Structure 1
Amino acid sequence: MYTTSTAFLEALGEAGVRYAFANLGSDHPGLIEAYAAARAEGTAHRFPELIICPHESVAMSAAQGYAQVTGQPQAVIVHVDCGTQNVGGMLHNAAKARVPVLLFAGASPATQDGELPGSRNEFIHWIQDVHDQRGIVRGYTKYDNEIRTGHNVKTLVRRALQIATSAPAGPVYLVGAREVMEQPLEPAPAAPAGFAATAPTALAADVVHRIAGALAGARDPLVVTSYLGQRPDAVPELVRLCELLAVPVLESMPMYVNFPADHPLHVGYQWNTRAQNPVLAEADVVLVLGSDVPWIPTSNRPARDARIFVVDVDPLKEQMPLWHVPAEVFAQADPGTAVRQLADRVAGLPVDADAVAARRERAAAEHRRLAAELAERERPGEVITPEYLVACVREAVDADTLVLSEAITNFQVVNEHLRRTVPGSLLSSGGGSLGWYAGAAIGAKLAAPDRLVVSLVGDGTYLFGVPSSAYWVANRYQAPSLTVVIDNQGWKAPKMSTLGVHPHGVAAANDDFNVSFAPGADLPGIAAAAGGVVGQTVTDPAELPIALKAAVDLVRAGRGVVLAVRVPGV
């Protein structure tokens, strides 16, 4: 029987959705029957492949990881209000990272006396009937709607995906009551054409002229970026712009490779820095090019007389109630398109060649100074430090390896010591809800099956990822990866936050922060039990390079590995 559920799954397939990451429930008999019928008929290829996820957060982060690698939105199917709430933290990440995902949830049946197929027949249907299920996610989605009839379900799906993929991209949410999803239909044709995402926006000509002129006439210009590299093809254009004028690049809370780390104009990274960045302080013109938090003004900001220009797909951060950068221009444009426009314009402007050469040498000198300082921190000692650990990972992987970073208090360490150079070879969640790595590694591996996928995470993050679910999924769907746990036996982030506000308080004086994980758990053992991965804990600095090489070899051979590496405790 052809139903709304059949048409819904067909619509996803027709739109190019490759996977539906699902946690099924009592609201999904129509979908389950549609998949079973398609498999029996040999026509399941017209639907997205179903990836069963025992926990919803793994499903959502897997869809995000796939979309981050490919740019193509995937579907997530969850169970009424409860499943919707279980994706909450990962939905936050997809929203903040501006990643397209279509989230679908059933709804409790709308009838209770057998009036329609799918009417209520389980006690849970009354308990899970809530006043505003769509309201649960409305603060994190670009669009939400209810499927009320199967006759236009394909149009709703295509519209939702069009909104999800149009800049600024983000998640969308559809719900459908069980009776509607069971509605018999005549086989539905594909949705009509005309649902393409909006074209990338460009800078107005006068804005291009103004920003390019400011950069060309600056004494010490600077580019600050966080997610320009979401589009890997934008990175060479930023390199071209910066090389024309010898403009240094500072990456602030980066989610991607935005600029090659080994380039002489790369002058470092900043996260929760407690001190003023000297390059930022000296800049007289600052171009903020795709960044939500270009600096933290309580401790680190440009000079008061610096000219600041903001170019962003979302320049006013309308979803952030408190946000301000004192810029003279806020321009809404696709950063990749904008940087290409600026490079083309700058190439035709007269410049002071001597000033450019001097600036190039100053930036290169700062780059060399930072590199020497970082190399010194990587030296092995009696214990494994995060810096030494990340340096060992750098030596164990290649330039094409896809690295997922969710190391929290070691975010900056990972960026500084991995020194990634290939656009698209580093991803972060983009948000603040921990555990993204676990599902994202699955999605990334499904999107790029020939690439090595490596996650660098803290021990707290590792547990937030629901490893008992994630590694089962990875094993079942042959998506092996290497997870390196930077294990400091506790939550360092709350301790650092407390010290930032109460540096001389009672908690600091008594070292009483309630963040220890003692007695420690067998972190790799969780994954080994759930998904058959190889698990190991490393404490000896001399053993680490050997263990990493063996782990990489195992993953390349098709086996998942979790390596917990003990670093000094919190």
Structure 2
Amino acid sequence: MVPDRRNSLHERGRLMYTTATAFLEALREVGVSHIFANLGSDHSAIIESLAQARKENRNLPRLIICPHEMVAMSAAHGYAQVSGEPQAVLVHVECGTQNLGGAVHNAAKGRIPVLIFAGASPYTQEGEVRGSRNEFIHWIQDVFDQRGIVRGYTKYDNEIRSGDNVKQLVHRAMQFAISDPKGPVYLMGAREVMEEETEPVTIQPELWGPVTPCALPPQGIAELASDLIKAKNPLIITSYLGRNPEAVGELIRLSRRLAIPVIESVPNYMNFPADHPMHVGYQWNTAKQNELLAEADLVLVLDSDVPWIPIKNKPAENARIYYIDIDPLKEQMPLWYIPSKRFFKADSHVALQQLNQYLQGVDLIDEEAVMMRWRKFSQIHERQREELIREEQPDPAGITPAYLTACVREVMDDHTLVLSEGISNYETISTHLQTIRPGSLFTSGGGSLGWNGGAAIGAKLAEPEKNVISLTGDGAYLFSIPATVHWMANRYRTPFLTVIYNNRGWKSPKLSTLGVHPDGVAKQTGQFWVDFDPSADLARIAEAAGGTYAKTVKKASELKEALENGLRRVREGRSAVLDVRLPPI
């Protein structure tokens, strides 16, 4: 394909058309609506191009000022999750790249399409071309391998060396980002390159689309369907099938047809309705064997990185395992193996459509066995729900995580998006939130804390008519850089409700230590070095930074009213933070 360089996008003359201008146009062409930016001395050409575009009333992505890069990346992450549209992040040379930190990990592990652009120190120092070094920091910030900082987490990285093909590089990078398994990509460009005048290039975006989703091979469909029909105790486990809400409907259809129960393991999304008779629970760092998993003679894993933890909880040795995943080999996980009869690299939505269609033409299904299985697991489902209700009763001794989550569930409606980063309460939140709508629950998909605040801003930008509730532990709240988060929420009118599950410390490291040393010295002495006493006034941090409604809740009797008041403030256009005091760790 020969690029069309006809002067159709910009009137040549006294106004410059630079690499930066072409770069910004390319972002618009690939579907980016927002640039979450932390600007520096390397972005002069981009700033000039944005100002020029505003003066000329030309349409470019909206720039969102982000005083911290972790929040910028998390906001792009949340926006992409909720909307399905990739976004861009702009950071300052290698310092800003490093400040992205765990947010790049989260996007990589959560398979989120985000294009990151970082400038680079100028490569000239005597004024040879526009953009040459003119500040002392340009020598300090010059490093040998800036791209290498994030190479272990990105699907693609490259350096922009000329304005002549910058659009092609952006489209190619985004093609990587939006093709399964999705993920972040990284481009960098020195200041002189971005300042370089160039000629407009016309790109046909339809020629740079994502790779077509994979499907099951015909023989694989027949084999899997046959084994599912023969199985006495089939089981389905999933974690992130719900990233595509349409896949949830196909999973419901399969589960209903053959009465196959479903377990959500470390769910990143709402994968299967909690009120469905075949929903039989959640698991995370489950400390004991799940009996339903142990009894299964066939386990179908759909989109899951960690369907179980073998040292604690696994299927029977003779169980047949089928693995369907967009990344069934987990190519970025050095240690990972779950021996399975078949591994299929396929899109779960497509695979389930194929399987359901195949089952329509099968006459060998034992309908009586299906009915018996349906009754059995419906009863198990009901017993689980009864147990949940018992756990949710108010405790005179203090607010329990189960009761808090149940109260959050009561204030939710069909216009609510929930972001969960509860960590030590992760399983409790999943279990008691009982989500039933596809596209209503999100987690980071990774393991770096602090995603919750920025992601809430991104989610609200993507769906401004929705009520966004962020559920977070006190440790994850502090990692989120709340001063930056709530300044941004105030400036960009993205109000949301934060509920802090505050046990005044890092409970997870304590649980991890006890998991390895259940009767160790740390337990005997009570020394875990994880408490946050004296406790900070977490809600008022947000109040000071962004005019947020702040309230600390210590009594169960105050909780429901506090949640209702917080959501009312959000609907009125003001963020709210509830610091809910749980029993200390």
With the length of structure 2 as denominator, give the TM-score of the two structures: 0.96
Post-superposition offset of 1:326: 1.7
Task: Give the Å deviation of 1:193.
Answer: 4.5
Residue 274 (structure 1) aligned to one of 254, 276, 287? 287
Counterpart of 2:133 in structure 1 is 120
Alignment correspondent of 2:577: 562
The answer as to 2:377 corresponding to 1:363 is yes
Cα offsets for 1:413-444 (capped at 9, x unmatched): 11111100000000000000001011100100
Question: 2:306 & 2:203 partners in 1: Cα distance?
Answer: 42
Cross-structure match for 1:201: 214
Q: Which residue of 1 aligns with 2:423?
A: 408
1:520 to 530, 535, 544: 535
Deviation at 1:191, TM superposition (A): 5.1
Give unpaired runs (5+ residues) of structure 1.
none
Shift of 1:509: 0.6
Q: Deviations over 1:235-259 (max 9, x none)?
A: 0000001100000000000000100
- The CA deviation at 1:188 is 3.3
Structure 1 residue 189 displacement after superposition: 2.7
What is the deviation of 1:399? 3.1
Structure 2 residue 500 is matched with structure 1 residue 485: yes
Structure 2 distance, partners of 1:324, 1:562, is 41
Q: Offset at 1:135?
A: 0.5
* Alignment root-mean-square deviation, CA: 0.8
Give a deviation string over 1:18-58, Cα, whole Å, max 9, x none: 00000000100000111111112222x2x110000000000
* Counterpart residue number, 2:119: 106
2:462 counterpart of 1:436: no
Q: Secondary structure at the match of 1:189?
A: coil
Tell me which moved more, 95-104 or 7-16: 7-16
Report the equivalent of 1:380: 394
Aligned 8 A contact 2:283 2:427 in 1 = yes
Gaps of 5+ in 2: 1-15
Q: In 1, distance between residues paired with 2:570 and 2:205?
A: 44
Does 1:353 pair with 2:392?
no
Find the aligned partners of 2:443 and 2:424 in 1 and give their Cα distance: 13
CA distance in 1, matches of 2:523, 2:343: 42
Counterpart residue identity of residue 113, structure 2: P
CA contact (8 A) 2:542 2:550 kept: yes
- Quick check: 1:76–1:102 contact (8 Å CA) kept in 2? yes
1:88-130 per-position Cα deviation (integer Å, ceiling 9, x unaligned)? 2000000001110000000000111111110011111111100
The aligned counterpart of 1:136 is 149
The answer for the alignment partner of 2:273 in structure 1 is: 260
Aligned residue runs from structure 1 range 438-457, under 5 A: 438-457=453-472
What amino acid is aligned across from residue 445 of structure 1 in structure 2? K
State the distance in 2 between where 1:94 and 1:471 align: 22
Would you say how many aligned residue pairs link Structure 1 and Structure 2? 568
Measured against aligned partners, the alpha-carbon deviations of 1:452-481 in whole angstroms (never above 9, x if no partner) come to 000100000000000010111111111100
Query: Equivalents in 2 of 1:36, 1:400: separation in Å?
Result: 36
1:547 aligns with 2:562: yes
In 1: Cα distance, 2:221 partner to 2:35 partner:
42
Contact 1:399 1:421 in 2 (8 A): no
Output the CA distance in 2 between the equivalents of 1:342 and 1:412. Answer: 30
Does residue 508 (structure 1) correspond to residue 530 (structure 2)? The answer is no
**Is the partner of 1:28 in helix, strand or coil?**
helix
Q: What is aligned with 1:15?
A: 30
Could you tell me which residue of structure 2 aligns to residue 170 of structure 1?
A: 183
Correspondence for 2:162 among 135, 143, 149: 149
Tell me the residue number matched to 1:329: 342
Aligned to 2:246: 233
- Residue 479 of structure 2 corresponds to residue 425 of structure 1: no
Deviation track 1:195-247 (CA, whole Å, cap 9, x = no partner) reads: 00011110000011111111111000000000000000000000001100000
Separation in 2, partners of 1:108, 1:184: 19
Q: What secondary structure sits across from 2:213 in the alignment?
A: coil
Are the aligned partners of 2:29 and 2:205 in contact in 1 as well (CA < 8 Å)?
no
* 1:244–1:347 CA contact under 8 A, matched in 2: no
* Residue of 250, 264, 288 corresponding to 1:251: 264
Distance 1:468 1:191 in 2: 42
What is the TM-score with the length of structure 1 in the denominator?
A: 0.99
d(CA) in 1 for partners of 2:542, 2:433: 25
Contact map agreement 1:399 1:420 (CA 8 A) in 2:
no
Give the AA of the match of 1:482.
L
Q: Is the 8 A contact 2:107 2:444 kept in 1?
A: yes
1:86 alignment partner in structure 2 = 99
Q: Which amino acid aligns with 1:443?
A: G
The amino acid that maps onto 1:50 is L
Shift of 1:16: 1.7
Between the aligned partners of 2:184 and 2:114, the Cα distance in structure 1 is: 5
Deviation at 1:348, TM superposition (A): 2.2
- Give the match's secondary structure for 2:45: helix
Q: 1:269 aligns to what SS in structure 2? A: strand
Deviation of the 1:192 alpha carbon: 6.1
One-letter amino acid matched to 2:385: A
